[in-house]
Amino acid sequence: MTTTLRPSRSRSGGTTARSRSAGGRTSTSGSGTRKAAATSPRTPVRVKRPRATKPVGRRSSLFVSLFALVVILNLVGLLMVLSASAVGSNAVYGSPWYQFQRQFIWLVLGSIALVIAMRIDYHAWRRRAPLLLVGAIGLLILVLVPGLGLEVNGASRWLGWGSLRIQPSEIAKLAVLVFVADLLARRAHRIENTRLTLRPVLAVFVFVAALIMLQPNLGTTIILGVIVFVMLFIAGIPLKPLGLTAACGVAMAAVAAVIEPYRYRRLMGFRDPWADPLNTGYQTIQAQVGVANGGLMGTGLGEGRAKWGFLPFPHTDFIFAVIGEELGLVGSLTVIALFVALGVLGIRTALLAPDRFGMLLAAGVTTWILVQAFVNIGAVVGALPITGVPLPFVSFGGSSLLVLMAAAGILLNVARQARPTPTR
């Protein structure tokens, strides 16, 4: 085999060396040409791909602080559920650990949901928003089917079997929140056109709220309405139509509160609990007695008396009364301070979100947590009517804890991708 070299002139005026082999193949070398080895199929090109499991963003102080608050509130809740439910669990189930074990299992499941949601880029929820909403509506319809929905205390709000139950209205909160955030973010350039923004949001909310009210569940409907209202306000919906919508919502809630006899009696019990202290005012009075009995420092963990058959639902709706009695004013204010701190950090997350969708998501989840905590604590201390809403992360919640932990995971993912604050 012989090889000859001939000089050839390139188009740019330079000279390249062309080699001709006996087989007739040629290769060129020099500027403006590609090497043969680079184009050879026998030389694979390895591309370093990022790890798929690595979450987007960074562990900023905002992210770490939010995560720590969620963990602390859950630990407080786990401890107080044990204290508040031990007496009743021992009397009904023969073991003081029964409700505590159930709460622990739900907390483990909620922690898994939180970690998964925290590691998923929150933008992925935009593609899943319609499917999530349709699934939540389907579950709300199934609750109303006789034989499928589980009826407890006159309300059909659960699906499941035995002690394993889910509450579809909690899933609906998250589904509506994600849907509204996606729609308002996509139509931000036409936010003042209420036909494209306010009306479709209201159509979805009214339909979901109607299904929730058929259970019936006025407390969850009110909380969902406040979440949607705050998101509409933050998105920049014109104040006049938004104000008219809010006024109509308040009027409808007032009508719903008095049209049903049991709600009307509960409202009258809130107005004057001592008018019927053994019936409609009983829960309010016992909750206030428990809080007052705690004083400044409390009776001590596990030493409360209200849970000994006096206070109904001490580990769910009225767990804050047990906190007030056993941990006193100091413990109660500490729990309130934790929620306030979480709210401040949630608002900061919304302000530093990298885009409009993240801002609306963070604002919606923060509103959800704060409004639900306000309604629960307000009912315990007698400032608001009793609605049966659990205290976020603290009350025994089951599926409500699971869904709320997933929502907190989304909030943490937004915080992880938040823009860094400018240094002075």
Token code pair at residue 128: 């899943």
Which is higher by pLDDT, 402 or 56? 402
Determine the residue type at 203: A
The pLDDT mean for the chain works out to 86
Which is higher by pLDDT, 206 or 421? 206
Q: What Rg, from alpha-carbon coordinates, does the chain have?
A: 30
| DSSP state letter for 338 | H
Cα gap 308→87, rounded to integer Å: 6
Which is higher by pLDDT, 120 or 26? 120
pLDDT digits (tens, 9 = 90+) for 225-238: 999 999 999 999 99
User: End-to-end distance of the chain based on CA atoms, in angstroms?
Assistant: 73
Q: Is the pLDDT reported for residue 18 higher than 90?
A: no
Cα gap 290→84, rounded to integer Å: 12
Position 116 scores a pLDDT of 96
Position 53 scores a pLDDT of 54
Position 422 scores a pLDDT of 64
Report residue 13's pLDDT band, with 50, 70 and 90 as the boundaries: very low
pLDDT digits (tens, 9 = 90+) for 62-74: 999 999 999 999 9
Q: If we measure between CA atoms, which residue out of 317, 330, 338 comes closest to residue 73? A: 338
pLDDT digits (tens, 9 = 90+) for 331-346: 999 999 999 999 999 9
Q: Is the pLDDT reported for residue 124 higher than 90?
A: yes
H helices of 352-398, where?
356-380
